[in-house]
Each structure stands twice: as C-alpha cells, then as structure tokens.
C-alpha cells in the first residue's frame, strides 16, 4: 500500500518539559494531547482513533484506554505500539493506514511520561538493564549506554569517526535547543565540555547521552479531504518505511550496519524523493554516535563523513542540512518514546514556517527518523546470529554479510549443527520421545546437501529404518532415516540417527 499524500498531520502539541514534580505521566500525555487537538482546530469529541506508546512510570496495562478515559474520548480505533524509540514514527504509519482505509477519520497519537521525577535512580538503572537480553545481556549488568558504547567503538574503528566529531553532535543540538522556548536544557555547551564531562561508558561521556525528562508530545492525523475543513496548514506524509533487523545487540547482524538504510530507501521510494531533496532532518539521537550512523545510512552523508558534517557546522541551523533544530533528545527532551515524537512535532513546525529563530529557510521537505532498542526494533534473523554467540563460530559465511556477497550463497547461511539442533526440536515437538527416550547412540552418514538461509522454512521427514532388542528386556533400539527439507522440497541435510528407548515387557 502506498500512503503517498494520503494522510496529513493537522495538529501538534507538546507538554511542559523539565523536572515537573506536579505532573504525572498520564497528565503529560493529556496536556500534549489537548494542545495538539486545539492546534488542529478540533474538539476532543471529534477524535475517533487513539494510538499510544508505553510507559515505565505509569502502572496501567492498557495505557491507551486509560488515556481515552482521562480525555473523555471514545475511540473506535486504537492500540499501543511498542517499538522503543521508533514507536512514534511507527504510530504515524499506523495512523496513516487507519485514515486511508477508513478505520478512523481523525487519529490522535501521543506518548510521554514523567521519567525524571517518576522514577528513582535505581529504578532508572534497572530499567536500562532490563532492555538487554534476559539471558545473554541483563544477567551481566549490561545497560543501554554500554551497548551503544560498543557500537560507537566499532563504528569509530571502521569509519574513522572521532570523539570530537561525536561531541560536536551534542554541542550542535544544544545550540539549537537554546532557540527553543520549551527545551529542557537552557545553558550553552561546547565540544570541549562534552569531551571533559563525566565518563559513562567508553567512549560515551555524560553529554553524549540523552536527557531524562518529564515530557509528553502528540500529533493529529487525518485525510487530506477532512483537513480542508480545518484552519491550519496540513503537512502531507509523502513516504514512510520500516526495517526491523534485531531486538538485542547480541543478535545484531552487524555492529556497524543497521536498518536505517532499508527504512530510508522504502520511504524515499514511496515519496518519489531522494536524500538531496531533504531540507531539514530530525534524527533520533539517544547517544551522540546515533545521528552520525543514521545520516550516513539514510544517504544524507557518505559513509564515514557524518561526523565531519557535524564538526564543520553543516548540521547547524542555517547550515547545509539543519539537523534536530529543536535540540533533539540530547538537549530538548527525552522521556521514553516521546523523544522521537518531538522530532515529528518539530518537522511539522518547520514545514509550517512556525519555528521562529530555529526556522530553516524555504523548508518544503523534512525527514524524520526514529530508532528503537539498540539500533533495532524487532528480531528477524535471530537464530543464526544467536548460534554464533552460543558456539563461538563467527565464520564469515555465517555472520559477515559483506563477505557472503562474494560466496556462492550471496548471504549468510546457517551452521550445520544449528540445522541439526532444529531437527531435535522438531522431534521433541512431535512427542515421540516424551517419557521414552533413554539415549542417543549415534549419528551416521550425516550429509549436507544444500544451504539454509534466513527466511527458510524447514521440515523433517523421519522413517524407521531398523529396530532391534538389546540384552536388557526393558529397552529397545530404533534407527531412523532423517531428511531435512526446505519450503521448496529441496533436501538440505540427511543422516541415520540411532536411539535407545524404554520398552514394555513382552506380553
């Protein structure tokens, strides 16, 4: 489905921002929502769709329903989207699809929480650790800053990005935030101050890391036809794309190549535009390395050139391509999913020519990029990469996408033992070994007939080839012929597997 110019944003609103001890997370959502509805020239009773994200500080399982109660609306379309920091852009896609298909006419999208005052320091640290893999990351105390530090070190080693260039990202966004009347941070920040700030997780210092704020944000989506009856300037959605490469960093296909290139290409293709058409960009900036990676993957700079782009001042207001003109998550606000939503709000204001001192001259096209997890959103290629971690076998044919382009397979293939292990899982699922299996006696004639790749569907054919009775009467031996085939019916592995089972005594 192409959504090109089929949905428009007609209203935006942000809550008060900072350390707001008198505001709950729900209250911040509601304040932003009411401001967005008013900005659209609507009444709350005219909202028939509601999309929310998630909250670490509110005790509500059904956050959207609770917010609907709070606002006094009765949506006939709703849901809560959880793709980390990418939730706002994902919600924009869902809202656009809803109004295009007639599921709703006017959709309110909002996110926010009181993360600065609603959580203790220990609770915040615990939440950061909980994002890691529950078996392979969290038990070792690995928090989000450490995982992004790992990415930063890998990216610096591969592309030559420097610490000073990363510090320039933070200094650039602070300069932009000083021109925003509602920004959390109000004091100037230099590159040297970033470099001299408290170390958090090498190579990241305190000012390389996003804020912790109390904040809420919201926007309203409808059809171009409905927007004709509203007072404001509608901002058209030209194109949108998603890419979900992994969930946990231990399962990432790469530490230097992520999904922004794919999501950007999908958005560009839908819009009929390219990187050179972008006038202003809002890039997710939870850590200073992230917008450098994103702008390079999105084609806004050559690989390895993003850091210099910031350091040379090209991303500043009035520069070649202004980036995060509101101050981003490093200086404007960050409170969970709302950090990325603020980028959407700023893009709308830029395209309406309402950004005041932050205004980009003659801006007609804006790009907003959201990112969730650890440069991820969802797991699509977990099994092969997890087996690398488990076995220690990171051979290029299994883990290096670039190397695999030079192989006959063209892409990473599964380890042969992984395929064998899946056979074992299918056997277990069949139930034939439940309460009966005593031992595996041997695997003979194990042959590999073809590769197994990401996305393949595997089936096992198993037939009894031989049975015999050992000396002990309560045991039996069964040999199976096993064949593993893919979705095209092609054999990928075969073997003879011999097992010892419990046996009933003869009648």
DSSP code at position 330: I
- Give me the numbers of helices (H) and strands (E) for the chain, helices first please: 16, 14
Mean pLDDT by 10 residues, the chain (507 residues): 88 97 94 97 96 87 89 93 89 95 97 91 73 79 87 95 98 97 96 97 95 96 94 91 85 87 90 91 96 96 96 96 97 92 96 95 92 47 43 69 80 83 74 85 92 78 89 90 87 92 77
Rounded to a whole number of angstroms, the distance between the first and last alpha carbons of the chain is 66
User: Cα separation of 75 and 210, whole Å?
Assistant: 34
Q: Which domains does the chain show, CATH number per domain?
A: 8-368 (3.40.47.10), 381-502 (3.10.129.10)
Query: Which of 153, 114, 164, 90 shows the shortest CA–CA distance to 377?
Result: 90
- pLDDT score of 123: 80
Q: What is the pLDDT of residues 273-306, one digit of tens each?
A: 899 999 999 999 999 999 999 999 999 999 999 9
The residue whose two tokens read 């915040």 is: 124
Q: At residue 32, what are phi and psi to the nearest 5 degrees?
A: -65, -40
Can you give the pTM of this predicted structure?
0.74
């Amino acid at each position: 489905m192409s959504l090109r110019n089929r949905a428009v944003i007609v209203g935006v609103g942000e809550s008060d921002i900072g350390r707001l001890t008198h505001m709950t997370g729900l209250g911040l959502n509601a304040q932003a929502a009411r401001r967005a509805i008013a900005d659209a020239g609507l009444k709350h009773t005219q909202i028939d769709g509601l999309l929310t994200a998630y909250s670490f500080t509110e005790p509500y399982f059904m956050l959207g329903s609770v917010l609907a109660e709070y606002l006094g609306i009765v949506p006939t379309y709703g849901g809560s989207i959880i793709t980390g920091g990418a939730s706002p852009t994902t919600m924009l896609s869902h809202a656009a699809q809803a109004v295009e298909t007639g599921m709703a006419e006017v959709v309110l999208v909002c996110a926010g929480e009181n993360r600065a005052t609603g959580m203790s320091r220990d609770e915040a640290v615990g939440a950061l650790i909980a994002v890691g893999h529950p078996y392979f990351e969290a038990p070792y105390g690995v928090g989000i800053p450490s995982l992004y530090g790992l990415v930063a070190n890998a990216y610096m080693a591969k592309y030559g990005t420097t610490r000073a260039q990363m510090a320039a990202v933070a200094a650039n966004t602070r300069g932009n935030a000083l021109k925003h009347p509602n920004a959390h941070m109000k004091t100037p920040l230099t590159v040297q101050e970033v470099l001299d700030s408290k170390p958090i997780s090498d190579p990241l210092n305190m000012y390389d890391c996003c804020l912790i704020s109390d904040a809420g944000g919201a926007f309203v989506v409808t059809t171009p036809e409905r927007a004709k009856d509203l007072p404001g300037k509608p901002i058209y959605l030209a194109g949108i794309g998603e890419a979900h490469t992994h969930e946990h960093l231990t399962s990432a296909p790469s530490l230097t190549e992520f999904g922004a290139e794919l999501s950007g290409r999908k958005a560009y293709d839908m819009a009929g535009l390219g990187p050179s058409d972008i006038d202003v960009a809002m890039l997710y900036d939870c850590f200073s390395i992230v917008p450098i990676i994103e702008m390079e993957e999105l084609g806004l700079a050559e690989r390895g050139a993003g850091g210099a782009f910031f350091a040379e001042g090209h991303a500043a207001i009035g520069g070649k391509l202004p980036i995060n003109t509101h101050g981003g998550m490093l200086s404007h606000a960050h409170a969970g999913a709302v950090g990325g939503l603020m980028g959407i709000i700023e893009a709308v204001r830029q395209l309406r020519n309402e950004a005041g001192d932050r205004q980009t001259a003659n801006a007609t096209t804006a790009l907003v990029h959201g990112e969730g997890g650890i440069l991820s959103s969802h797991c699509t290629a977990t099994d092969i990469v997890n087996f690398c971690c488990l076995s220690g076998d990171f051979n290029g044919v299994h883990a290096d996408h670039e190397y695999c382009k030079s192989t006959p397979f063209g892409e990473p293939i599964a380890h042969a033992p992984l395929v064998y292990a899946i056979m074992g899982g299918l056997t277990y699922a069949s139930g034939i070994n439940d309460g009966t299996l005593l031992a595996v006696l041997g695997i003979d004639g194990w042959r590999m007939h073809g590769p197994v790749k990401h996305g393949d569907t595997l089936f096992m054919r198993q037939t009894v080839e031989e049975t015999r009775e050992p000396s002990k009467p309560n045991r039996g031996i069964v040999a199976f012929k096993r064949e593993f085939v893919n979705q095209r019916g092609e054999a990928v592995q075969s073997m003879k597997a011999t097992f010892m089972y419990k046996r009933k005594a003869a009648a």
